[in-house]
């Protein structure tokens, strides 16, 4: 077959436009599913093959100005994005193109964003804890190196702040690469993150990818796969550990729902797409450790109306090794990070992995806070004075533990005026152990609020 005929077969015409869905007719051999097509400046991805050489595509940009009969050129390949060290320190879009005003990454290394997860025989289960320096996380919901951690919470409880702090702490203390993927992010958050990464001096080891809130649903649906493709190159070819942060995985599900509706699929439970479980698994199963390196993923998950039985939240839960629940009630009390100590959990919190001492202290902290929750109603009705001496001691310990598990963050210094603190696991355990052993208290609860290790409280009291 001559090149001229091949080119003719790969050129089609727009025959239908319905919102973000474009049908294209090819006279000859039609492109395959997931192939990238171009019509002027607009990119299309083939989503389904119809009859008579017609393919149904999802537009990856606004279709304003696109008309029937417009000529469409097939590229012969899926979306290919640049990978490797050329993308470090850059802010990019779903195609790996520049968003930071600089030239596009100068590299010939490109990979398709549609890739299979590594085979089972290449995967490695590490059983190692990634120390974050955040007291409440390291104590009650330790993060697995090479695992997936979910940050669950409604709007305004601090998911993005916690993620930016994790970027800062891990890049500063671990040799590796951070990759931030903003799915459905506000443009304000993207600009702030880019500036904060520069101010913290960690941008050179960070890649930032954005499919923003105002972009087409196809872009928001695919940007997570672009991020994973870049992360996989660092892991498999450069043999580096990668910290992958996604904000927000719920918006990936939401974009999939929009794409599904545009394609005319019947909605499933609560209006979600019937392919929810498959699409989510296709993304999550690529996040894993191999013999070459580990991709540790921390994912913010918006919970609609704070309903944890929502199908999207329930499906995301099933893929995680640790779940960190952010509580609106704790946020309203000023206890930041607003991590719910009773709702958060991790598969790593076992004596075999974290050690017997850590396990025992974490259980004692949870037990003390749970007893305090049970006593809250009695205190509200009758007052603290009506409790027995032992119950009053439990309340005193619990309230000090709640405040000790708060922490000033580096990324919020500019707002709060408090210098950020990074606390080791050993310092966290020692502080909790000291509070748990106390039976009489001659200090103030607020002495424990927004400090780093417990030694900060002692020095604060002296001054």
Active-site positions read: 159, 185-186
Identify the H or E element spanning 442.
Answer: none
Tell me the C-alpha distance between 326 and 263, whole Å.
35
Which helix (H) or strand (E) is 328 found in, with range? helix 328-332
Distance CA 97, CA 291 (A): 31
Do 42 and 66 meet the contact criterion of CB atoms below 8 Å apart?
yes
Residue from 97, 94, 40, 66 nearest 218 by CA: 94
The string of DSSP letters for 121-137 reads: GGB-----EE--S-HHH
Write b or e for each residue in 388-410: b if 16 or more Cβ atoms lie within 10 A of its Cβ, otherwise e: eeebbbbbbbbbbbbbbbbbbbb
Across the strands, what pairs with 245? 180, 298
If we measure between CA atoms, which residue out of 337, 324, 352, 356 comes closest to residue 147?
324
Q: Cα separation of 278 and 228, whole Å?
A: 17
With beta carbons less than 8 A apart as the criterion, state whether 235 and 242 touch.
yes
Q: Residue 77, CB half-sphere, CA atoms under 13 Å: how many? A: 8
Query: What CA–CA distance (Å, rounded) separates 107 from 354?
Result: 42
Place of tokens 């030239």: 103
The rounded Cα 96 to chain-centroid distance in angstroms is 19
352: Cβ contacts below 8 Å, ≥ 6 apart: none
Distance CA 242, CA 237 (A): 12
374: Cβ contacts below 8 Å, ≥ 6 apart? none
CA angle 92, 93, 96 (to 5 degrees): 70
The residues that bridge with 45 in the sheet, in sequence order, are 36, 58
SS3 219: helix
Token look-up 């780093």 returns 452
- Residue 137, preceding peptide bond in cis (omega within 30° of 0): no
Indicate the helix (H) or strand (E) that contains 296. strand 295-302
CA 350/CA 336 separation, integer angstroms: 26
């Amino acid at each position: 077959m001559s090149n001229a005929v091949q080119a003719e077969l790969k050129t089609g015409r727009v025959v239908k436009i319905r919102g973000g869905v474009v049908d294209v007719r090819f006279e000859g051999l039609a492109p395959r599913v997931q192939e990238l097509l171009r019509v002027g400046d607009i990119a299309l991805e083939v989503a389904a093959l119809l009859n008579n050489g017609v393919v149904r595509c999802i537009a990856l940009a606004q279709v304003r100005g696109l008309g029937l009969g417009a000529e469409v050129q097939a590229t012969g390949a899926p979306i290919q994005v640049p990978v490797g060290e050329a993308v470090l320190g850059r802010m990019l879009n779903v195609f790996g193109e520049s968003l930071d005003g600089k030239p596009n990454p100068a590299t010939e290394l490109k990979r398709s964003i549609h890739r299979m997860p590594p085979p089972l025989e290449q995967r490695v289960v590490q059983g190692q804890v990634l120390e974050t320096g955040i007291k409440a996380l390291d104590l009650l919901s330790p993060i697995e190196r090479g695992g997936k951690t979910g940050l669950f919470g409604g709007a305004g409880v601090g998911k993005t702040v916690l993620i930016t702090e994790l970027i800062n702490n891990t890049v500063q203390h671990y040799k590796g690469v951070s990759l931030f993927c903003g799915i459905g992010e506000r443009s304000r958050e993207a600009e702030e993150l880019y500036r904060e990464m520069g101010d913290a001096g960690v941008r050179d080891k960070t890649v930032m990818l954005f499919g923003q809130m105002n972009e087409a649903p196809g872009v928001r649906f695919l940007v997570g796969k672009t991020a994973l493709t870049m992360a996989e190159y660092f892991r498999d070819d450069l043999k580096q550990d990668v910290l992958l942060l996604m904000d927000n995985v719920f918006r990936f599900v939401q974009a999939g729902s929009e794409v599904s509706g545009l394609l005319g699929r019947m909605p499933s439970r609560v209006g979600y797409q019937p392919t929810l479980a498959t699409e989510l698994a296709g993304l999550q199963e690529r996040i894993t450790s191999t013999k070459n390196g580990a991709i540790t993923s921390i994912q913010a998950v918006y919970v609609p109306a704070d309903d944890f039985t929502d199908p999207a939240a329930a499906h995301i839960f099933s893929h995680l090794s640790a779940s960190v629940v952010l509580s609106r009630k704790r946020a309203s009390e000023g206890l930041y990070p607003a991590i719910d100590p009773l709702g958060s959990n991790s598969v790593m919190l076992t004596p075999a992995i974290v050690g017997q001492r850590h396990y025992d202290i974490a259980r004692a902290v949870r037990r003390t806070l749970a007893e305090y929750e049970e006593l809250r109603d009695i205190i509200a009705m009758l007052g603290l004075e009506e409790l027995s001496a032992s119950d009053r001691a439990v309340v005193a310990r619990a309230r000090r533990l709640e405040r000790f598990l708060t922490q000033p963050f580096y990324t919020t210094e500019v707002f709060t005026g408090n210098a950020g603190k990074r606390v080791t696991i050993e310092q966290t355990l020692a502080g909790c152990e000291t509070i748990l052993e106390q039976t009489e208290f001659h200090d103030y609860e607020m002495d424990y609020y927004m400090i780093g290790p417990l030694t900060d409280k002692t020095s604060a009291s002296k001054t």
